[in-house]
Chain A
Amino acid sequence: MDAQAMHIANGIVNGPVSAVFVVFAVAVLAICVWKARADLDDRLAPMAGLVAAFIFAVQMLNFQVLPGVSGHLLGGTLAVILVGPWVGALCVSTVLIVQCLLFADGGLTAIGLNITNMALLGTAAGYLLVAGLLRILPKTPGGLGATAFIASVVSVVVASQGFVLEYALGGTTDLSLPWISGTMAGTHVLIGIGEGLIAATTVATVARVRPDLVYALRRFRKPVVLEEVAA
């Protein structure tokens, strides 16, 4: 199966299950909107837009993973690190909505499924890993890069298994589930590595030059020591 199946089209999963997932996605996104209000200040609003644009841009670039298998980034982990879990989920959802409306990428009726997999499952997995890993790894650009890499690989695979779950619930054809699960996991490990490399370089660069912009480091940041005070 092609890795682009990450964007589920219309008609792959049946109507009732799609509808259930729309309700689920809307409910979770409502929580995100409510939680994001506190976060989305003057600084974070443009950052959220850039993260969305960046995810959008790299999702347009399908890169070759294996002969015949192309894939693209999901971006959830990158979003989590730079803008936090709530705004991050909203960023990825925005990208998915615009893509399905304007680029016919992913079915309109499958939007609930796609948001659940990529925007909710992917970012949730990414967030939990980032939060965990940053406790162990050094809070330096390098450590953050490593965190981004590991979290990306895992979150992409987790997101791909979301499709397996949905297919099990409402697949319109009868395919062997272990086979789907295995294929999805296999190709998505490779995609995850690509995604991980991009997320790691990006996050490490930002952390090196503008640590103030990295949401994941907010909790750990020391107050800035002004030169004046020292002088």
Chain B
Amino acid sequence: MGAGHAHPLYLDRAGRVHRLAPEVKIVAVLLFTIVVVVTPPTRFWAFAGYALLIAVLAATARVPAFWLLKRATIELPFVLLAVVLPFAGHGERVEWLGLSLSIEGLHGAWNIFAKGTLGVLASLLLAATTTMRDLILGLDRLRVPSVFTQIATFMLRYIDVLADDARRMRIARLSRGYDPRFLWQVKAFAVGVGSLFLRSYERGERVYLAMVSRGYTGRLPQPAHDRAPARQWAMSAALPLASAGIAVAAAVLT
């Protein structure tokens, strides 16, 4: 178990942002997102500023732009929603290329699109620079109740067990002449899900007992580095402060 506890969105780079303590990054991203969300959608300049901030951050973290954009497609459903709005919205309408669009709908679409995208990009940057294990450690240091971190720690462990057991079961099936076709696959999936769950539980339980046998009491031994130094807090405060600055400037200008 435990393949380094990375996750699909983690980018293993030796960037400066990677080395920041996780709790610092979580707080910075959270504050940034709040600032973005409370900005009225008509302050267009502010959003351009936020986008610029994200770009600078991505460059510092050595996360390629293409990587970010590709991963940002997770947001696509909301973009679809945003596309629907100008047609479905009420109130005053404008004509554009022969289409009748609702102005309020257009504003709504922009609002969802801009805030959604910036939020996703910020989270992606956090994800790209933080392993799941560090994230849990960060949450723990932010005084999230230990029930959560305990469940999250087990969850992390079990994600590996599930993936590992699913792989083992697949190889076992293939080696004994199983030839997956669509319909059969559905059936095997149905049988498989229950067995996989149970199998993973019992393996995870045995692993847990083995951990307990070696003195585990609910907390993993912490990696060497301790709490984030003040310097790191100051450094990452740059993101929310800059965004707040942009928000205020945009409010004054318009």
Q: A: which residues have CB within 8 A of B?
A: 1-2, 4-5, 9-12, 15, 18, 33, 36-37, 40, 42, 45-50, 52-54, 56-57, 87, 90-91, 93-95, 97-98, 100-105, 107-109, 172-176, 179, 197-198, 201-202, 204-206, 209-210, 213
- Residue B193, interface by CB 8 Å: yes
Are B77 and A93 within 8 A (Cβ)?
no
Partner among A48, A109, A204, A210 whose Cβ is within 8 Å of the Cβ of B119? A109
- Given the complex of chains A and B, what is the CA–CA distance between A4 and B75 in angstroms? 10
Q: How far is the CB of A187 from chain B (nearest CB, A)?
A: 12
- The residues of B that contact A173 with a CB separation of less than 8 Å are 85, 89, 104-105, 107-109, 111-112
- Residue B55, interface by CB 8 Å: no
- The residues of A that contact B7 with a CB separation of less than 8 Å are 102-103
* A to B contact number (C-beta, < 8 Å): 217
Those of B147-169 within 8 Å (CB) of chain A: 147-148, 150-159, 161-163
- Residue B42, interface by CB 8 Å: no
Main secondary structure of the interface of A (DSSP, over half): helix
Size category, B interface: 35 or more
Are B155 and A56 within 8 A (Cβ)?
yes
Can you report 11 A-B residue pairs in the complex whose CB atoms are below 8 A from each other?
Answer: A10-B33, A10-B37, A37-B147, A48-B151, A53-B158, A98-B132, A109-B34, A173-B105, A174-B108, A205-B198, A210-B201
- Given the complex of chains A and B, what is the CA–CA distance between A93 and B145 in angstroms? 12
Are B90 and A52 within 8 A (Cβ)?
no
- Residue B60, interface by CB 8 Å: no
- Given the complex of chains A and B, what is the CA–CA distance between A33 and B148 in angstroms? 9
- Given the complex of chains A and B, what is the CA–CA distance between A12 and B41 in angstroms? 12
Partner among B111, B194, B204 whose Cβ is within 8 Å of the Cβ of A50? B204
- The residues of B that contact A109 with a CB separation of less than 8 Å are 33-34, 37, 119
Q: A43 — nearest CB in chain B belongs to which residue?
A: B205
- The residues of A that contact B139 with a CB separation of less than 8 Å are 97
- The residues of A that contact B127 with a CB separation of less than 8 Å are 101-104
